[in-house]
């Protein structure tokens, strides 16, 4: 889908500015209102941020779902990527909760959660453009701030900036570093475990509790205390306007959504179906347009709109404002597609890559550089396995071999993470032995390597 990078915009408002990007509301030269996500200038050369921006645009461009904010395309202006998105005039549920300081009407809260569950299911099973395989998108940051309600009552899930997906032209590495919002993060996300739809279900359960009660649920991270503390707090989930039987059914669903063990949680599809049945059996007909008229529109009207020039982030988006510049001869600001935005800086050659790895693992805290190394090593098959195999071999020494230098758990896990793209026989042999380790983190990392080997054999 081509997007003319010379189309002009009138910046009307800057609703938010984050660490890496600024979001603004604009009117284009056809009169259409759009939202623009503009990468900050100091991140224009950051490979990781660039690839994640491109991947987010690719994912959302393919996600055509009424409950997900649509991406129209990606343009390049002055070498900086700009994501052109659907503009949703409305408010986040976080803003609604903060303003009302009360719970949402029970029918509205349940309906919003039901529609977001449908969005999560659609994202996970959305087919990729080239081979039709599911993209397995996991949002990883579901919370009231990222759920919008428009002035006409539409519910939209937004901000897939840290989403994880599997599709054929993905650029960014699915890092296992902790991304997301602490208060809504599933326990397994802190234990280096792979992200699955269960992490989104967990966050949606916490969100539903907050929408129904008006207060957040504070969870213990201790495996033996988590569920007990969660069930105690669920006693405060007493929805008004329904009989005790339906109140208990809703508590039971939230309890399953927020369990410590991810395999014990329902799927997004199950959540959506159960909430649909719950609304029908409770005799509730959520009227989102009426809710929007009563709550969302007044909030929008009370919202103080400052001139974009008065916003601290104006300098980051000013280059988009006004008539589109005329490019000089030979300029690369031509009409582009989502998949053809100018690429990030060139990658290292084999010799430089081997030198980087050798230099890093000689340092005691080299595992802290794992995310940077993943970006460099992603998809490469030409680097030497020796240094990482040596790290693993030190972990496999017998306990009585006390004179050998020890290796820390985080270093073993980091080595296994880097070796996932190289599930060769020597790597798999070591991973099988490490799968019997006493460390849960090592076991999980080793299993991911073995799974990568199985997937490679299947192909």
Helix, coil or strand: residue 240: coil
Tell me: do 103 and 235 sit in the same domain.
Answer: yes
pLDDT of 3 reads 45
| 175 part of a folded domain | yes
Banded model confidence at residue 56, pLDDT cuts 50, 70, 90: confident
Query: Do both 209 and 65 map to the same domain?
Result: no
Residues 151, 197: one domain?
yes
Per-residue pLDDT tens for 233-271?
A: 999 999 988 999 999 999 999 999 999 999 999 999 999
One domain for residues 274 and 330: no
Q: What is the pLDDT of residues 197-245, one digit of tens each?
A: 999 999 999 999 999 999 999 888 788 889 999 999 999 999 988 999 9
Given the residues 29, 46, 55, 141, select the one marked as catalytic. 141
Q: Average the pLDDT over 304-319 and give the result.
A: 88
Q: Are residues 110 and 173 both part of a single domain?
A: yes
**Res. 171 pLDDT band, cuts 50 70 90:** very low
pLDDT at 402 over 60: no
Ranking 26-35, 85-94, 179-188 by mean pLDDT, the lowest is 179-188
Strands (E), 40-70: none
Do both 257 and 311 map to the same domain? no
124 is a domain residue: yes
**Is position 141 annotated as part of the catalytic site?**
yes
Indicate the pLDDT class of residue 448, thresholds 50, 70 and 90: confident
Q: What is the mean pLDDT of the chain?
A: 83
Within a domain: 22: yes
Residue 345 within a domain: no
- The CATH number of whichever domain residue 312 belongs to comes to 3.30.200.20
Does one domain contain both 126 and 60?
A: no
What mean pLDDT do residues 124-129 have?
Answer: 85
Q: Give me the pLDDT at residue 179, please.
A: 54
Total domains in the chain come to 3
**CB–CB of 60/69 below 8 Å?**
yes
Residue 238 sits in the same domain as residue 322: no
Q: Clarify whether residues 316 and 258 are in a common domain.
A: no
Indicate whether 280 and 394 sit together in one domain: no
Q: Is 310 a domain residue?
A: yes
Radius of gyration of the chain (CA): 24
Residues 386 and 451 in one domain: yes
Q: Determine the pLDDT at residue 323.
A: 57
Looking up tokens 């007909």, which residue turns up?
285
By C-alpha distance, which of 176, 216, 190, 169 is closest to 74? Answer: 169
Task: Read off the CATH number of the domain in which 221 is found.
Answer: 1.10.510.10
What percent of the chain has pLDDT above 70? 84
Helices (H), 126-160: none
User: Closest Cα to residue 201, out of 148, 149, 274, 134?
Assistant: 274
Question: Taking a C-beta distance cutoff of 8 angstroms, is the pair 339, 57 a contact?
Answer: no
Give the mean pLDDT of 356-362: 86
Determine the pLDDT at residue 177: 40
- Is 4 part of a structural domain of the chain? no
Closest CA to 193 of 387, 441, 25: 441
User: b/e map of 91-100 (b: 16 or more CB within 10 Å)?
Assistant: bbbbbbbeee
Residue 343 lies in a domain: no
Residue 166 reports pLDDT greater than 70: no
- Above pLDDT 90, what percent of the chain? 41
pLDDT score for 160: 82
pLDDT for the residue 152: 95
What pLDDT score was predicted for residue 342? 46
Residues 293 and 216 placed together within one structural domain of the fold: yes
pLDDT tens figures, 91-115: 999 999 999 889 999 999 999 999 9
The range of the structural domain enclosing residue 49 comes to 9-87+306-337
């Amino acid at each position: 889908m081509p997007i003319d990078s010379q189309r002009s915009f009138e910046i009307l408002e800057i609703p938010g500015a984050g660490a890496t990007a600024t979001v603004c509301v604009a009117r284009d030269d056809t009169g259409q209102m759009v939202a623009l996500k503009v990468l900050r200038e100091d991140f224009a050369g950051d490979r990781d941020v660039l690839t994640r921006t491109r991947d987010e645009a690719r994912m959302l461009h393919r996600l055509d779902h009424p409950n997900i904010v649509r991406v129209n395309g990606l343009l390049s202006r002055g070498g900086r990527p700009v994501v052109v998105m659907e503009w949703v005039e409305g408010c986040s549920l976080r803003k609604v909760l903060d303003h009302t300081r009360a719970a949402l009407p029970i029918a509205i809260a349940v309906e919003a959660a039901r529609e977001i569950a449908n969005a999560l299911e659609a994202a996970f099973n959305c087919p990729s453009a080239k081979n039709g395989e599911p993209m397995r998108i996991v949002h990883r940051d579901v919370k009231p701030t990222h759920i919008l309600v428009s002035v006409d009552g539409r519910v939209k899930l937004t901000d897939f900036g840290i989403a994880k997906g599997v599709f054929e032209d993905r650029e960014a590495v699915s890092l296992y570093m902790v991304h997301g919002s602490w208060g809504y993060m599933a326990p397994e996300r802190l234990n280096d475990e792979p992200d699955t739809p269960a992490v989104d279900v967990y966050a949606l359960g916490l969100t539903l509790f907050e929408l129904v009660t008006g207060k957040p649920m504070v969870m213990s991270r201790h495996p033996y205390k988590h569920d007990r503390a969660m069930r105690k707090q669920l006693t405060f989930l007493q929805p008004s306007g329904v009989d005790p039987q339906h109140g208990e059914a809703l508590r039971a669903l939230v309890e399953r959504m927020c369990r410590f063990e991810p395999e014990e949680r329902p799927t997004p599809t199950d959540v959506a179906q159960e909430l649909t049945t719950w609304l029908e059996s409770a005799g509730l007909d959520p009227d989102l347009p009426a809710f929007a008229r009563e709550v969302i529109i007044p909030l929008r009207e009370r919202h103080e709109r400052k001139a974009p020039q008065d916003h601290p982030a104006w300098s980051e988006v000013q280059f988009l404002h006004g008539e589109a510049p005329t490019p000089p001869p030979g300029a690369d600001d031509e009409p582009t597609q989502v998949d053809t935005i100018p690429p990030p800086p060139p990658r290292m050659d084999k010799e430089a890559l081997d030198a980087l790895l050798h230099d890093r693992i000689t340092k005691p805290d080299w595992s802290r550089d794992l995310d940077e190394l993943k970006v460099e090593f992603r998809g490469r098959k030409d680097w030497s396995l020796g240094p990482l195999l040596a790290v693993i071999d030190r972990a496999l020494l017998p306990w009585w071999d006390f004179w050998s230098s020890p290796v820390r758990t985080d270093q073993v896990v980091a080595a296994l993470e880097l070796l996932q793209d190289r599930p060769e026989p020597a790597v798999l042999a070591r991973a099988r032995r490490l799968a019997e380790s006493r460390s849960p983190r090592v076991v999980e990392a080793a299993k991911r390597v073995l799974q990568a080997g199985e997937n490679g054999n299947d192909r």
